[in-house]
A and B are shown apart, each in its own frame.
Chain A
Amino acid sequence: MTQGISRRTLLGAALSGGLITPFLAGCGALVPASSGPRSISVHTQLSGAVAGAQVFSDVVADYQRRSGRTVALLKNGSDLPIVFETSTLAGKAADVAVVNMMGRTLSWTGAGATIPVTDLLDEWDLRDKILPQAIKEWTDDEGRLRAFPFTRTNWPVSFNTGLLEEAGVEIPTTSDELIAVADALRSKGIGPVTVGGSDWSGQKMFLQIIQGFITEDEARTVFSTGKLSESAGALAGVEHFVELRDAGVFVDNVQGYTSDSELTQFNTRKAAIVPAMSSALALVPAERAKEVTVGGWPKPSSGGVLAHPSVIKSYNGHGIWISENGREKLDLIKPFVQNLYTERVTDEFILGSGRDMNRVTDTVSKDFPLVAQGSRLTDDDVTPVMLPDLLIPDSVFEPMVKVTAMAYGSASAERIVDSFEKAYDAA
Chain B
Amino acid sequence: MAQRIAALPLRDRIGSITSGTLAWIYAALLLVPFYYFIVSSFKTNEQIFESPLALPATWDLSNFATAIQQAELGLAVANSALTTVAALVLTLLLALPASFALARATGRAGKIVESVFALGFLIPSFAALFPTFLLAAALGLFHTRTFVVFLLPATALPLSIVILTSFMRTIPRELEEAASMDGASSLQVLRQVYLPICIPGIATVLLLNFLSFWNAYLYPLILIGPDTAQRTIQVALPTLKVDAGTDYGVLMAGTLFTLLPVYLVYTVLQRQMQRALLSGAVKG
With the chains together, A193 CA to B120 CA distance in Å?
52
Assess whether A24 is in contact with B89, with CB atoms less than 8 Å apart.
no
Q: Would you call B136 and A90 a contact (CB within 8 A)? A: yes
Indicate whether A21 reaches chain B with its CB closer than 8 angstroms. Answer: yes
B197 within 8 A of A: yes
Contacting pair A18 B228 (CB below 8 A): no
Interface status of A73 (Cβ within 8 A of chain B): yes
User: Is A284 touching B239 in the complex (CB atoms < 8 A)?
Assistant: no
Chain A, interface size: which category? 35 or more
Report whether A30 and B70 are in contact in the complex, using a CB–CB cutoff of 8 Å. no
Q: Is A286's beta carbon under 8 Å from chain B?
A: no
Q: Which residues of A contact B197 (CB under 8 A)?
A: 1-2
Which B residues lie within 8 Å of A283 (CB)? 242, 244-245, 247
Q: Which residues of A contact B251 (CB under 8 A)?
A: 49
Taking a contact as CB atoms closer than 8 A, the residue among B85, B142, B239, B269 that contacts A48 in the complex is B239
Determine the chain B residues whose CB is within 8 A of the CB of A270 once the complex forms.
49
Please tell me if the beta carbons of B244 and A83 are within 8 angstroms of each other in the complex: no
Taking the closest CB of chain B, its distance from the CB of A285, in whole angstroms, is 8
CB distance from B115 to the nearest CB of A (A): 29
Of the listed residues A4, A29, A78, A260, the one surrounded by the most CB atoms of chain B closer than 10 A to its CB is A4
A263 with B229: CB separation less than 8 A: no
Q: Are B271 and A4 in contact (CB under 8 A)?
A: yes
B195 near A264 with CB under 8 A, answer no
Q: Shortest CB–CB separation between residue B70 and chain A, in angstroms?
A: 5
B238 within 8 Å of A by Cβ? yes
- Minimum CB distance partner of B202 in chain A: A10
In the complex, per-residue mask of A1-45: 1 if CB is within 8 Å of any chain B CB, else 0: 110110100100010011011001101011111100000000100
Bound complex: CA A18 to CA B72 (Å): 25
* Whole-angstrom distance between the Cβ of A199 and the nearest chain B Cβ: 9
A79 at the interface (CB under 8 A from B): yes
Known: A27-B78, A80-B226, A267-B45. A48 touches B244 (CB 8 A): no
In the complex, chain A residues whose CB is within 8 Å of the CB of B195: 7, 10
Q: How far apart are the CA atoms of A83 and B142 in the complex, in Å?
A: 12
Give the number of residues in B that approach A within 8 Å (Cβ atoms).
60
Checking A18, A32, A196 against B229 with a beta-carbon cut-off of 8 angstroms, the contacting residue is: A32
Q: Tell me if B75 counts as interface (CB < 8 A to partner A).
A: yes
Could you tell me if B142 and A17 are in contact, using CB atoms closer than 8 angstroms? no
A271 shortest CB reach to chain B, Å: 12
Bound-state Cα–Cα, A269 to B158, Å: 53
> B244 and A79: CB pair below 8 A?
no
Complex contacts, A79 vs chain B, CB 8 Å = 221, 238
Q: In the complex, what residue of chain B is closest to A7 when comparing beta carbons? A: B196
Complex-state Cα separation, A42 to B272, whole angstroms: 46
CB proximity to A under 8 Å, residues B10-67: 45-46, 49-50
Instruction: Judge whether B82 and A18 touch: CB under 8 Å.
Output: no
Residues of chain A lying within 8 A (CB to CB) of residue B136: 90
A17-B88 in contact given A49-B241, A79-B238, A260-B244 (Cβ < 8 Å): yes
Q: Which residues of A line the B interface, CB within 8 A? A: 1-2, 4-5, 7, 10, 14, 17-18, 20-21, 24-25, 27, 29-34, 43, 47-51, 53-54, 72-80, 82-83, 86-87, 89-92, 196, 201, 259-260, 262-265, 267-268, 270, 276-277, 279-280, 283-285
Q: List 18 A-B contacts (CB under 8 A).
A: A1-B199, A5-B203, A18-B89, A20-B85, A21-B86, A29-B75, A30-B230, A43-B226, A47-B239, A48-B241, A49-B240, A49-B250, A50-B239, A79-B238, A90-B142, A91-B137, A92-B143, A284-B245
